[in-house]
Amino acid sequence: MQALFDLSGKIAVVTGANTGIGQAIAVALAEAGASIVAVGRSSMDETETLVGKAGAKFHAIKADLGTIEPVKPIVAEALERFGALDILVNNAGIIRRTDAIDFTEEDWDAVMNVNLKTAFFLSQAAARHMLEKGCGKIINIASLLSFQGGIRIPSYTASKSGLAGLTRLLACEWAGKGVNVNAIAPGYFATNNTTALREDADRNASILARIPAGRWGEPGDIGGATVFLASAASDYVHGTVLPVDGGWLAR
């Protein structure tokens, strides 16, 4: 059974790997045996150290995913560095909080470009290689807002709902060609994106009151689900959006 989850010899590209959930995903994949290509806008020294402690190879690519310009170079550099690309995790994402009535086109486009547009075109670029060799795993990081509306985050909700739909679409097209496309929907996690919520005493209390597990998720809580979807254990899993939410959606 352990062999099903072994990622030894696999090459994983993880976007937004410099901190938070992306960093935890990179470390979890490394601990399962994968070599890591970490993509992010800021320093990934800490991620490199953690991946190194897991005994895995590491390569960093600095890129701004607000446009699709870096997409093809990211895939090309991963292939040049390691000779393969087996796993892609589209984790990079941003959020803008404003009442819908006041939301600007600039904030709309900024979020949609990172969270949805670039995720699609990076998946496309990676899949060109994966489809050629007949295997690969693509994992999109969706959200509870792929299922619910939320408040004051219209472009984030739209992008994460779109990412769930895109996950299903790509699975329908590529499942029969050996490429698995799935998504993980994190619940309320203690990351930079949720700082404002956690610092609002009333909002923090209302969120905790609804989570059956009774706590905010920690980035490390996402690791097991990612390894599962990246490994042979999920070879017959296609087009799913797996909540990792402490039971939020069950309530």
Question: What is the pTM assigned to this prediction?
Answer: 0.97
10-residue averages of pLDDT along the chain (251 residues):
93 97 98 98 96 98 98 98 98 96 98 98 98 98 97 97 98 98 96 87 94 96 98 98 98 93
**pLDDT at residue 196, as a whole number:** 85
**pLDDT at residue 1, as a whole number:** 76
Active site residue 156: yes
**pLDDT at residue 197, as a whole number:** 87
All structural domains of the chain, each given as residue ranges with its CATH number in brackets, are: 2-250 (3.40.50.720)
**pLDDT at residue 194, as a whole number:** 87
What is the 3-state secondary structure of the chain?
CHHHHCCCCCEEEEECCCCHHHHHHHHHHHHCCCEEEEEECCCCHHHHHHHHHCCCCEEEEECCCCCCCCHHHHHHHHHHHHCCCCEEEECCCCCCCCCHHHCCHHHHHHHHHHHHHHHHHHHHHHHHHHHHHCCEEEEEECCHHHCCCCCCCHHHHHHHHHHHHHHHHHHHHHHHHCEEEEEEEECCECCHHHHHHHHCHHHHHHHHHHCCCCCCECHHHHHHHHHHHHCHHHCCCCCCEEEECCCHHHC
**pLDDT at residue 100, as a whole number:** 98
Which of 58, 82, 120, 156 is an active site residue? 156
